[in-house]
Amino acid sequence: MSHYIPGLVVRTAGVPAAVEELRLPEVGPGQVRVRVRAAGVCHSDLSMINGTLRPPHPLVLGHEAAGEVVEVGEHVTRAAVGDHVVLNWQPPCRSCWFCEHGQPWLCATSSGVAALENGMTLDGAPVHVCLGLGAFAEQVVAPENAVIGVPKELDFELAALLGCSVLTGSGAVRNTARVQPGESVLVIGLGGVGLSVVAAARAAGAGQVIAVDVTEAKKGLAEAAGATDFVVSSDALSKDVRVRTEGRGADHAIECVGRPSTIRAAWRATRRGGQVTVVGMGAADDMVQLGALDIFSSARTLRASVYGQADPDVEVPALARDVLDGKLSLDHLITDRITLADVPAAFDRMARGEGARSVVRL
């Protein structure tokens, strides 16, 4: 039986998203139906409509979410009706070369999938779902490896954040940069991911966490996440960071914006021999220029962190337990609680650099 549910749909590029009634497919073998209870508004969703990415349309937005399993298909073994789950927008296949060599975040099956066809609009047009999920909807139908069980006592709003921003930010610190106690960390860009980086860096024992954003309004959020210093971004950022790090520059710079200018700024503000980790996702035609002599003489390392270089099946339950045990606080990340119809306004706030995470409650 088909299910009719409301979802936030972008009909064509450049046209504002709107709530529409959708027809979801039946649950097939190896699939589950999840009643979405909370979904975070992530910058990757904005990238789907501002030209950074070019997905097919019509498109149901949303990928950072949590909910309750309401139906399972044949042969499903990892989920049961009633389970509370976090949705995984890049589920590893466990059989490709990358998965078998310990890099499930680079899974050849799921990596690079901007959208998949899954369902129809009421006028009969096939609809695509963002990053294989389309979580700005009352329900989603997804493969069972795209759901990760979490304790029922974990609030759905907090659970949703684990599926993208928190896992990405904490993984960038722990798995990619591997920040050590006493080191200094520069964080550029203080959205949900950037603030998660700040919190994870402090939890890792960083001696200094220098948070950077374009507006002074983010200072309170940065301090709540654990930043020791806050700097408003400017052309003098490298100098400002060196003043705070005995003239050397930061041991680590973690860039959470995805623009050539901020990647270069992270590079310049890092000490010789330091590490630059790029978390932000930029456009394909955004070129980053670095001098060949600078690359040689600075001896810095430049790396990307895809999905926090994490195995979500392992790390999401661990993060959930840390939240419940009081070791990880996420309350400061949620700055707005909204409905599906409010998501376009949340995108506008995000584009202006306001707030941290807006969470849709369904």
Residues 255-297 pLDDT 10s: 999 999 999 999 999 999 999 999 998 888 899 999 999 999 9
Q: What CATH number was assigned to the domain covering residues 3-149+330-361?
A: 3.90.180.10
For residue 60, the model assigns a pLDDT of 94
User: Binning pLDDT at 50, 70 and 90, where does residue 111 land?
Assistant: confident
- Evaluate if residue 131 carries a pLDDT over 80: yes
Mean pLDDT computed over 85-91: 96
* Spans of all domains in the chain: 3-149+330-361, 168-306
- Residue 101 CA to residue 104 CA, distance in Å, equals 8
- Evaluate if residue 349 carries a pLDDT over 80: yes
CA 76 from chain center: how many Å?
A: 27
Asked if 361 and 339 touch (Cβ cutoff 8 Å), the reply is yes
Percentage of residues of the chain with pLDDT beyond 70: 99
Residue (of 141, 149, 201, 168) closest to 40 by Cα position: 168
Q: What CATH number was assigned to the domain covering residues 168-306?
A: 3.40.50.720
Residue (of 71, 62, 4) closest to 32 by Cα position: 71
Give the mean pLDDT of the chain. Answer: 93
Helix or strand or coil: residue 199? helix
Half-sphere exposure (CA, 13 Å, Cβ side) for 174? Answer: 19
Six-digit token pair at 228? 């020791």
Q: What is the pTM of this model?
A: 0.92
DSSP 302-336: EEE-SGGG--HHHHHHHHHHHHHTTSS--GGGEEE
Residue (of 131, 192, 130) closest to 161 by Cα position: 192
